[in-house]
Amino acid sequence: MSRSKELADRFLSHARTFSWGYATTELLTVLDRPVSLKLHKPFSMRLMHMKERYIMHWARSFFREEIERYHNHTAMASQISSPNAPVWLCWLQGIDQAPELVQLLIAQTRRQSGSHPVRIITLENYNDYVTLPHDFIAKYESGKMPQQQFADVLRSALLAQHGGLWVDTSVYLSQPIPESVFSSPIYNVKNILPNRTREAVACDFTKWQAYFIASQPKSITYSFITDCFLKYWRHYDTLIDYFLFSYLAKIARDDLPGGRAEFNMIPDNNPECEWLCDYLMDGSPYSARTYNQIRDGDTFVYKLSTKCDFPTRTKEDMPTMASFLFDNLRGNN
């Protein structure tokens, strides 16, 4: 399917399901991104805020029963020892089908997980670990649910049912994962510095990200989010927004006293987790000083991307930081 037909189909689906106004705003935000990147300017915050206001108003109305049901749930104690909490990774097609960078990052996550068991979720084994309704699975298998959304629901349900830590396979962990991540009621990167382009992609981008999230079993936050996801897909056949997860997390911490308490227990952390991807894309030369800061600094979670180009040689034909970093992951340094 061509990109233009995909956008037209999504516009019509959103217009019929939600409103013509929302469909127009959502389309404009999508069209703004390539233009902004070409002009080297930030994405439009005005469009983002328009879309956010619509989605938050719609979500608070649609999920009103879930908000009321979880409103009086009390957050658990501040720290709970969880030495056997799992680390969840996911590549639905199977790790053997993953790009080399993903395989290198998975191996690095294994090394940094200490004694915590690492579970890799695939299409072949996900139902060994998580229980989801048949009608939800049918939506995915019929093609009505995007694969990204299926993975979002998997991570939320795994945390709600079993607890542990979800790490995206595009995350580089420069240091061992602290035990405080596993013992907190919930954990996520918090109050991070924005990267060059994506601050206006999702609501509260710097407060919460889905690529590194942890929870105790039955936390208010991820139990609520999972229930909302399942309700959404019982009623709809089209995804309102790629970052629906972010909006549900915002409602959990803004509208649920227990969810707010869980979120407030998380200290600010990993301030530069979005910086490294930009740095590697720039083709910056290897610097021992910078590498030591990456390895030993106050950020241990770095979000990379399999969709970005990371040059391995500078214009002067010197090795870049990306070349050194990835060779180190291969064990070549």
Find the domain containing 62 and state its range: 3-70
pLDDT number for residue 30: 86
| Residue whose C-alpha is closest to residue 45's, from 58, 31, 32, 34 | 32
Mean pLDDT of the 257-286 span: 95
User: What ranges make up the beta strands (E) of the chain?
Assistant: 87-90, 118-121, 164-167, 171-173, 186-188, 212-215, 301-303
Exposure string of 251-279, with b = 16+ CB inside 10 Å and e = fewer, is bbbebbebbbbbbebbeebbbbbbbbbeb
**Other residues' Cβ atoms within 10 Å of the Cβ of residue 193:** 13
Quick one: pLDDT band at residue 140, thresholds 50, 70, 90? very high
Assess whether 52 and 96 both reside in one domain.
no
* Residue 48 resides in a domain: yes
| Total-model pTM | 0.94
Domain harbouring 96, CATH code: 3.90.550.20
Assess whether 222 and 93 both reside in one domain.
yes
Query: Where does a domain end: 70, 103, 126?
Result: 70
* Residue 292 resides in a domain: yes
pLDDT number for residue 201: 74
> Bridge-partner residues for 213, per DSSP?
166, 188
| Residue whose C-alpha is closest to residue 112's, from 193, 16, 200, 176 | 176
Query: pLDDT per residue over 90-117, tens digit each?
Result: 999 999 989 999 999 999 999 999 999 9
pLDDT at 293 over 80: yes
pLDDT number for residue 32: 85
Assess whether 243 and 119 both reside in one domain.
yes
Weakest-pLDDT range from 57-61, 91-95, 135-139, 196-200: 196-200
Assess whether 259 and 280 both reside in one domain.
no
Quick one: pLDDT band at residue 308, thresholds 50, 70, 90? confident
pLDDT number for residue 286: 93
Query: Where does a domain end: 264, 287, 306?
Result: 264
* Residue 55 resides in a domain: yes
pLDDT number for residue 266: 97
Query: pLDDT per residue over 196-211, tens digit each?
Result: 665 557 889 999 999 9
* Residue 18 resides in a domain: yes
Handedness of CA 218, 219, 222, 226 (dihedral sign): positive
Q: How many domains does the chain have?
A: 3
CA dist., res. 176 & res. 178, Å (int): 6
Assess whether 234 and 117 both reside in one domain.
yes
Assess whether 115 and 50 both reside in one domain.
no
Mean pLDDT of the 39-58 span: 88
pLDDT number for residue 198: 57
Which residue's entry shows tokens 């995915």? 140
Structure tokens at 12: 């019509």
* Residue 80 resides in a domain: no
| Residue whose C-alpha is closest to residue 311's, from 287, 286, 333 | 286
pLDDT number for residue 333: 59
Assess whether 61 and 189 both reside in one domain.
no
* Residue 187 resides in a domain: yes
* Residue 76 resides in a domain: no
Average pLDDT, the chain: 93
Assess whether 193 and 291 both reside in one domain.
no
pLDDT number for residue 132: 95
| Residue whose C-alpha is closest to residue 114's, from 189, 180, 208, 212 | 180
